Structure 1
Amino acid sequence: MANVLRVSTSHQLFCVFMLLTLAHTQNVVVFQPSLLTASGPVVSALLLGNSSDMSLSVRTVSPSNTTGSIGPPSCAPEVTQWVLTREQVGKTAVRVQLRLERSLYLCGENETEPDCCSNPLCVLETLQVSACVGDTPQASLLIQAKIHALLVPANTGPADNKTSIPNQVYQPLGPCPCDLTFRACDVRCCCDKDCSNEDLTLFASHCLPGPFGGQVSPPPDYQCSEQSAENSPDWFPFLCVHSPPKNNPFLGLFYRGNVVKSKPGPTFQRPVLSAPVPVNVYVEGSPILTLNDQYLTIPQKLFGQCVNNAPVAFLKNFKVECVTRLWTCPTEPPLQTLPGDFRIQVKNGEGGDVIVEVTDEVATDPSQSISSTNGAATSESLLCENVTFALDYQFYWKENRITNITLTRTVGNFPLNGSVGLTTRYSAVFLNGDFMSEPNSGNPGYQVGRPVIGGIMDIFDNNTGSIQRTSINLWKSVGDGLCFNNEKKPVLFGENSTSGCLLPVNRQNLTQCDLLRETVASLQADLTTATYVARTGNPDPLTGTDWINISFVMLNSSTTIEDTTSSCYGIQIHQHIHVWSLINGTIEGRPQREIRALQVSYSMTSWSLDCGGGDISPCVDPQETWLLPITSSVTFTDIPVNTEPPKTRFQINFTEYDCNRNDVCWPELAFPLTRYYTGEPYSQSLAKGLILVFFFIAASILGTPWRQIRQAQSQFLFSSYF
């Protein structure tokens, strides 16, 4: 698109108005603007004035070699690669538009199409548009066209051209995660095979960083698969580590399933990967399909409106309420259905299918879902029977497949007199066993920028309990900024933040201090309803060691001040969340962070009526309100890992055994007996190492050297006897 000269909107409108006035009074025509720079295939401008009897022409011009200026406008027609059109937009205004009639993609190898571009800079020319009366030019427009070729090739394939990502169990990130478009170059995706060398030069210095750009950390050196038979030392087959490629620190962010366990295999051999699952497996966010390759649909909300035929996404929970205004009894789905309409066959993701099990329930109080409207009542009342009030789906899943689907359909009868509003509820919950699927914040350590996971104890009937996940929130100031209308935002790991909202208070509120303190305390308590916080980013709801108690502290509570008629003390004006975390080891070079403590503290202050200044209305009118702030904040503190006493001068200077400052690290030679090995717990590695040493000693005792010693000893005893 054309880039018009950058001026303010008000100034531009003023200039157009003045030009229209001048053109109308003096009967002249002008182009607005008179100079354009085009970076796209379409460019437009306005021709102002009486142009009813004028013709337009376009030609290619170039500056003079001697003067460097463009020659006078000409009305002679010329054949160009641009198509000139005009459109009347007012009595004295015409929109003039130029469109490039050729393709803008780079030519492929051995491609001879005349429309494609051989160079990235596809068009570089200067155009002159002239408005003429007969052969006399009245106004001219200069356009500097500088257009680059598109990165998308001409044969991009069908409309559904998204790349099929492999199964995340075996390839959590895929070979190139940012390659999202099939047979097309994705900008800033340097690992995209569809990008040519010319494309990469445009964004080579701005590649997407981290795992999303395909820059995954290389496997550590102690992996058995990283050493070949040519360069590996003699001791390497005995001390290397077998770790399946399925285990990855990013696995919990892209795939929500069970932990992949190592399978025992032959010694000194790389474990063989199992065969990949079929292509049509479910991944997070993929639509669920029926047996005839149709989407399984449930009414959902889209942009605030209810859509009856919305596809259900795998592992995406939702719960919506839709209000339908009725003048007659419903006769079509989803409000009027039969149980057989829902007993359909759904693909399970492994080549098989599951049938939806439907259970009908009768609404106990249908009046709670009925609201009257202002419609005119009729003399007769209709009875609407077997109307759907709720559809609650439960999807049971394991790994990449669906194991079972149950539907609870709530129906009921209600009288219809005039028009009513019917509220129906639709929900879908994905359960892994008996637990609802929840997004993780790391695997296992927290990832910076992911939500901090809170929990509330849920006691079952058999006196056993599990911890249900919940969020730890801060205020999110939106709209008018009032506390009653404000939204909440979750606390993100590693990101300090401060936010707040405004509470309207009047003189009458200050006479009811107990009620005011209770209101503010309730608002602050709603931010953090959790009593536990997850130690790591993928906690187990049944494992108590994965959770830490949250401590609540009340600050400034020792000072006692009496309430007066215009002031209240002990208002919980600020809530502060303090999180202590540390780095507990690394996995594939990625630090694993965990939370060690979380404290929620409340700061109290006094609110009093201030009648100073020019505005005294709050002191005169008891209903006049003024806004007082309530704030919340979070602070993250890193606990230093190194708590050992300071090193002596000898330890600082002696670097022979320091693996961080020496190329040869002798302690790593004793893998896995030393603590430098972090592939498994130290107790297990020590036990396995001692067993391995025992076998070496036994082999040495029973081997060739000891046999020769026993033979020599027997010969000596025999010769001594004789």
Structure 2
Amino acid sequence: MANTGSFFSSLSWRASFLLFFVCFARSQNIVVFQPSFLISNGPQISAFLLGNASGMSLHRRTVSASNTTGSIGPASCVTEATRWALTTEQMGKSAVRVHLTLNQSLHLCGENETTANCCPKPLCVLETLQVSACAGSTPQASMLIQVAVNARLLPPNAGSDNKTVFPNQVYQPLGVCPCDLTSRACDARCCCDQDCSNEDLKLFASHCLQGPFGGQVSPLPDYQCSVQSAENSPDWFPFLCVSSPPENNPYLGLFYQGDTIAPRPGPSFQMPALSAPVPVGIYIQGSPVVTSDNKYFTIPQMVLGRCVTGAPVAFLQNFKVECVTPFHSCPTGPPLQTQQKDLSSEVLDGQGGAVKVNLTDDEAPDLTLFLSSGQADFTSEMLVCENVTLALDYKFYWKGNGITSISLTRTVGTIVLNGSLALTTRYSAVFLNGDSVAEPNSGNPGYQVGRPVIAGILDNNTDLMQRTRINLWKPVGDGLCSSANTKPVVFGENSTSGCLLPVGQRNMSRCDLLRATVADLQAALTTAAYVAQRGNPDLTTMTDWLNISFVTQNSSSATVDAAGVCGDIPSHQHISVWSLTTSLVDGVPQREIQALEVSYSKSIWALDCGGGDVSLCEDPEKSQLFPITSSVTFIDIPINAGPAKTRFQINFTEYDCNRNDVCWPELAFPFTRYYTGEPYSQSLAKGMILVFMFLTAAVLGTPWRQIRQAWHNV
């Protein structure tokens, strides 16, 4: 610890001195080498030139001491030819790093080698260098370097060229000759080295490395049948010796692990590159759609919570996503700025041909559904961005295993930008077989958590069930019901959402009409009359469907209809779903819906005209926002574990070992199962042994002996 403290104190003292000197040199407008004298034993030398070094030139030369005075002459601004290359690196405003590198090889010359790059003697370089910093032809600072470099001594055959690389034993066995350390060369005393010739082996045949480290099996133990002879074998030998080949040696496990496993690549957080698509013969559900130039047909989609612009489209898998993008300037490329030639591409139909995407443009009249408030910047110039792509809606028409046609509706709009905005773009793809939408199942057979609840409407003409969904409110933009969207009810996920309805004095004067308007808005969320019992219902089998119960709850008070007040408004719709886990398929619970109920809660709406502001109740143009909400709750029906307990089982607890400290049935141990200290089979066996020992002792004991003697006497 003392040495460490002295080292850090010395280091901090040098750093402080260097910082002080740099400040002083800059203030005095001088330059100096630090250090000014060096002794080097290597081919690379580094130093610093401190001070105002702008406009300075560096010169190097080889110098020697005078024979008369013994000193070195003054600095010179003339560069001489040396074996050293000089480079500089600016380290800051007041420091320049000076680096010298020897441009000569440092190996000893061979017998017939006459090149100038090798060293004829072991002491390869012995000289003194002078580096001068000059302003024009006037030297400002100089540095002396005394160099003494020795040549590197390398063997004729470098060991790095034939060094044996031991593989990982987990993936590849090491081998049976661990003393073979040099590849393509004979190792002394290693008799298992395959590189050793017979002449080499004769040199150390009697001095081979013993044991497993020399590749030799260790001496056989005494219990081997082949070791003992008839003269010195012990008495147990003929019956207990082991007959085993010498290869079965425990030391082999140190070098060989037998089975190997194939290496597998580790996890990576980098996005994998998409492989080239395989030419499709026919499409099946889930296979990617391919264009005519053998590329994936891509549409922006949501992947791992992010919008990916190049996500492939899967056959018969519908999706609808929204991507939020910060909007600072007018876009110049896809997906916000698209060209007709890029969207009207050809797609393989899966039947040996190709279909072209039919593009139709639609102008968005209202941009409130796509834009959200951002940060205004009144200092910047207002930008007008035309033909910005706001939505791409694809319709794939399919039949059998092929695609018959594709239609695309592109929604564009003009955005006036003053600062920054948040742009919400929408992308969707739907597969249609005629007029019916290809809907994926929500489980097989039971519902899976996170899948939509499947509802249905019975077609009286065909007696077939048409699939639909049960929806909840999904407010967007300003949160009004007029601009709100809907989202499907997802199995196993409770949710509550709503929107706002503007109501004014004119609406409050017609309460019956207001109640009917709110009821129609709520009824539009659930238009179905049936719900699928399982996740893969059959459209032709009515036993797979359950009736939906609609219940209207009575208000807690009498209907109130007055000026500015309306009662019995069905403002809240609640969906209750009862589900039951019926079975397990490959460890996955299969859940079925047992019942679904839609109920409405009524409330009283009144205009807030208090606080001195009565304009809301007098001005028919003003309105107040009232909430309309919807929610869903999933209720799990517990599985019946067995018949209900009788009153005797509930009340009579004297012999219940789980509810009493004293357990009377344990007195019959080990013939009862109330003792849980050990397995019942072991306790019963021990009990039978105790009974046998008791009977044996009783029969052979004193009472029975006296009885036998009396019997014989009689």
**Alignment TM class, shorter chain as reference:** 0.3 to 0.5
**Normalised by the size of structure 2, how large is the TM-score?**
0.40
Higher relative contact order (CA 8 A, sep 6+): 1
**Normalised by the size of structure 1, how large is the TM-score?**
0.39
